[in-house]
Amino acid sequence: MTIPVIRPWLGEEEAQAAAEAVRSGWVAQGPRVAEFEKAFAEQAGAAEGVAVSSCTTALHLALHLLGVGPGDEVVVPSFSFIATANAARYVGATPVFADVDPVTGNLTPDTIEAVLTPKTVAVIGVHQGGVPFDVDALDAVCSKHSLALVHDSACAAGSTYRGKPVSASASLAAWSFHPRKLLTTGEGGMLTTSDSDRAARLRRLREHGMSVSAADRHASSGVKLESYDEVGFNFRMTDIQAAIGLVQLAKLPSVIARRRELAERYHKLLAEIDGLRWVGDPDYGTTNYQSFWVVLPDSYPGTVVDVLEGLLARGVSARRGIMAAHLEPAYSGVDLPVTEHLTARSVILPLFHQMTEAEQDTVVTALAEIVR
């Protein structure tokens, strides 16, 4: 029995909700999506939520909405899942990689300013692994240079910034409901925004640019013809997914409480390993611990792969730390020393709602045996 790195917390309630959506006869985007959008936006401290098929399509749509296109540069961290950089490519723009802070793994005003050019139009800030970036600091640097700031909040449902939901002040934030995140709908995503005109346009764009949604036409008593005023996409979420999302959303506070409890216990247990560093709260906010990563001691001569193999041999499934997109063949190399160090030396340890203290002890004992 291997201890997994994450296990979605899904149960009978989600199964029931999905079955009810099927039985209702309305499985495409409809009333459950609308209900999920409202509930998610409220939890996120945003005025509006627009559900889409994934965080990847949410980021794509956000840049499209902002009019980012060929010739433009978008600053992104390389230290992120590759979808962050790909979003810039989808609209024909160029992602420009900035380095990150060694403690939070996030962009800072200095790392952003180091890569700005006259072509820069936007920044995608990532709350990496659930650790909030310094929102006020990034807002300030973006407004100083007249850049749009999009939050990639894929990992950050339930994280906080200065006592509020992490992206409550964002003009556009993109969220993921992939099973690797804390709240899952199988696949799925959301854009939150404080601007209702933007939300209305996003709702049209995700549905082929239709002026009247299929759900609204269906609900109408008279004949309603739609028009297509601009080219849109099919980035819709289904009502089956939204039904599951509503159940998952109600569980989010207890998921985060349990993760934070287990993370604090990790902090105490891992203190025994000399030279090991681990992720925690920055002084301006709290993480939901979507990823519990550690940075290996400098004294440990082995590689991350040695550690992953050693852990697997001891019944623990861990993962390499956050990837560096600029080191992948899809993107060309630049020099990002902090990103390269973090990627080369960090490991994500198992953390999930149902994890027992005994399982956690096994993880720490195994890691200590390997790196000591």
Give me the active site residues, please: 181
Question: Quick one: 148 or 182, whose CB is closer to ligand PLP?
Answer: 182
Instruction: Return phi, psi of residue 199, to 5°.
Output: -60, -40
**Angle separating helix axes 83-90 and 55-65, nearest 10 degrees:** 40
Candidate ranges 48-56, 62-70, 325-333, 362-370; the one touching ligand PLP (CB under 6 A): 48-56
Question: Quick one: 56 or 120, whose CB is closer to ligand PLP?
Answer: 56
> What distances in angstroms separate CA 66 from CA 46, 52, 55, 143, 202, one per listed residue?
18, 17, 17, 15, 11
Beta bridge partners of 150: 124
215 contacts 34 by C-beta, under 8 angstroms: yes
Question: Quick one: 89 or 265, whose CB is closer to ligand PLP?
Answer: 89
- What is the rounded distance in angstroms from the CA atom of residue 54 to the CA atom of residue 190? 7
Question: Quick one: 176 or 288, whose CB is closer to ligand PLP?
Answer: 176
Question: Quick one: 150 or 276, whose CB is closer to ligand PLP?
Answer: 150
Instruction: Return phi, psi of residue 310, to 5°.
Output: -60, -40
Position 40 contacts ligand PLP (CB under 6 A)? no
Q: Which of 151, 178, 236, 259 binds ligand PLP (CB under 6 A)?
A: 178
- What is the rounded distance in angstroms from the CA atom of residue 130 to the CA atom of residue 353? 16
DSSP for 324-354, please give it.
BGGGSTTS-----HHHHHHHHHEEEEP--TT
Q: Kindly state the smallest distance separating residue 121's Cβ from ligand PLP, in Å.
A: 20
Q: Which of 43, 78, 80, 194 binds ligand PLP (CB under 6 A)?
A: 80
Q: Which of 29, 43, 54, 213 binds ligand PLP (CB under 6 A)?
A: 54
What b/e readout covers 338-368, taking b as 16+ CB neighbours within 10 angstroms? ebbebbebbbbbbbbbebeeebbebbbebbe
Near ligand PLP in 108-167, by CB under 6 A = 126, 152, 154-155
Candidate ranges 50-58, 161-169, 190-198, 236-244; the one touching ligand PLP (CB under 6 A): 50-58
Position 81 contacts ligand PLP (CB under 6 A)? yes
- What is the rounded distance in angstroms from the CA atom of residue 349 to the CA atom of residue 294? 8
Q: Do the strands 173-176 and 148-152 form a parallel or antiparallel pair, or are they unpaired?
A: parallel
Question: Quick one: 178 or 236, whose CB is closer to ligand PLP?
Answer: 178
Q: Which of 21, 32, 49, 56 binds ligand PLP (CB under 6 A)?
A: 56
76 contacts 59 by C-beta, under 8 angstroms: no
Position 83 contacts ligand PLP (CB under 6 A)? yes
Query: Binding string to ligand PLP for residues 316 to 335, with x set by CB under 6 A, is what?
Result: --------------------
* Binding residues for ligand PLP (CB under 6 A): 54-56, 80-81, 83-84, 126, 152, 154-155, 176, 178, 189
